[in-house]
Structure formats: structure tokens, C-alpha cells
Structure 1
Amino acid sequence: MAGNIKIRAKSSNGVTTVKALMSHEMETGLRKDKATGEPIPAHFIQEVTGKWNDQVVMTAFWSGGVSKNPYLSFKFNGGEKGESVEISWVDNQGQSESGTAEIS
């Protein structure tokens, strides 16, 4: 499942705010296919990592209880205009995605 991550990062008074929208189906494994009645396998993001200039500033561990196409926002001390922020995730099926943005 290829997706994408839309990221915005803004620094103000020494604090950077990062906002990210991730494309992912986020299936819990509890729903059934309406056509066949068979359970839809669990498929969800397990770990999200936020990096600033290759330094980890945020890690989140998720489960199937997070909604489809999740939105994430966090803040960290530091970051200046033009520096790099990266968000990456790994799901329970071993798939991964990452994206970068420049701090404005």
C-alpha cells in the first residue's frame, strides 16, 4: 500500500510545530467485507517517528484504534527556517513510508 505524507512545519520563538497528514487505510481487523462476509485483515500503522536534522524528536506507537488517513501534530524545542523535518511510519505488515519538509 503506497501512500504519502503531507507535512508542514513552522518555527516560532524557538518552538517548531509539525503537522502531518498520512494516507493509510488503518484497518482494525474487526470489520467484514460486505460482499463476501470474510473478515478484512488488520492493516494499521504501528510506529511513527519524527526527526529534525536526523535527530529523533517524537515517536508514537499506534494500534488499530487510529482512524483512516491519520492526522498528527506535535511540537519540539528547536528548529529554524530552512532546516529539515522528516516523518516516517511502519505498519503491521512491514510496509513503510516517509516524507520530509522544510521548516518555514
Structure 2
Amino acid sequence: MAEQIKIRAQIQGEITDLRILLQHPMETGQRKDDKGQTLPVYFIQTFSVNHNGKPMIDGQLNTSISKNPLFTFKARGIKVGDKLTINWQDNLGDKRQDEIIIA
């Protein structure tokens, strides 16, 4: 199973700054290993953020995203005690979901 998603949320008045780090090697299929063999394509395909169970962000990624992608967002309406759930799935079917309660 993939490493835990790192989620940080900082409320500043009505705006919340979100920082989400997805830990994944993100291979493009163009690099070669030490023996000259092409490394297979391996990347996060879908990514979503839910706020208290309701979709907030729903996106698709591709091979052009770097290893361990970091996403930052600004959002309104997030309060202390709310729950954020982050999900991703890669092209091989591996999945990860983590959540935090806003403190």
C-alpha cells in the first residue's frame, strides 16, 4: 500500500489554505533503469478531495506530473471540526484514501 497522504489545512478567516502531498513515484514510461530497460508507465490517474462527504475537487492527472506531487488550494466554508477526505487511484489500480478533521 502507498504511503500516507500528507494533508495540511490552515484556516485564515474565511479562506482555508490546503496543502496535499501525494506520495507516488509517477513514472512517465520514458526513463530507463541501470540496465537500459524502460521503466513502465506508473502514475496517479484520478484525485479527489471531499469536504464533509461532498465533492470539492475531482481531477485527472497524467504522466507529466512529477514524483510525489504537491497540490495547494484555497477554499471557503471549511470550519474547525470539518472532515476532508483525499483519494487517489493510479493506472495499475492501486488506491489510497486518507482523511483529517480540521483542527
SS at match of 1:32: coil
Q: Which amino acid aligns with 2:12?
A: S
Residue segments in structure 2 that go unaligned for 5+ positions in a row:
none
SS at match of 1:68: coil
Taking only the aligned residue pairs, the percentage that are identical comes to 36
Instruction: Tell me the alpha carbon deviations over residues 8-45 of structure 1, each in whole angstroms, 9 at most, x when there is no partner.
Output: 1122322222111111000001111122x111100000
Match of 2:51 in 1: 52
Greater shift after overlay, 3-12 or 86-95?
Answer: 3-12
Match of 1:68 in 2: 67
Q: Which amino acid aligns with 1:30?
A: Q
SS at match of 2:32: coil
**Structure 1 length-normalised TM:** 0.90
Q: For the residues of structure 2 that align with 1:60 and 1:69, how far apart are their CA atoms?
A: 16
Residue segments in structure 1 that go unaligned for 5+ positions in a row:
none
Q: For the residues of structure 1 that align with 2:54 and 2:73, how far apart are their CA atoms?
A: 15
Calculate the aligned-residue CA RMSD, in Å: 1.3
Kept after mapping to 2: 8 A contact 1:7/1:19: yes
Higher relative contact order (CA 8 A, sep 6+): 1
Aligned structure 1 segments of 4 or more residues deviating by more than 4 angstroms: none
Match of 1:13 in 2: 13
SS at match of 1:67: coil
Q: For the residues of structure 2 that align with 1:91 and 1:84, how far apart are their CA atoms?
A: 24
Match of 1:22 in 2: 22
Kept after mapping to 2: 8 A contact 1:9/1:101: no
Q: For the residues of structure 1 that align with 2:75 and 2:9, how far apart are their CA atoms?
A: 11
CA shift, 1:47, in A, is 1.0
Kept after mapping to 2: 8 A contact 1:47/1:62: yes
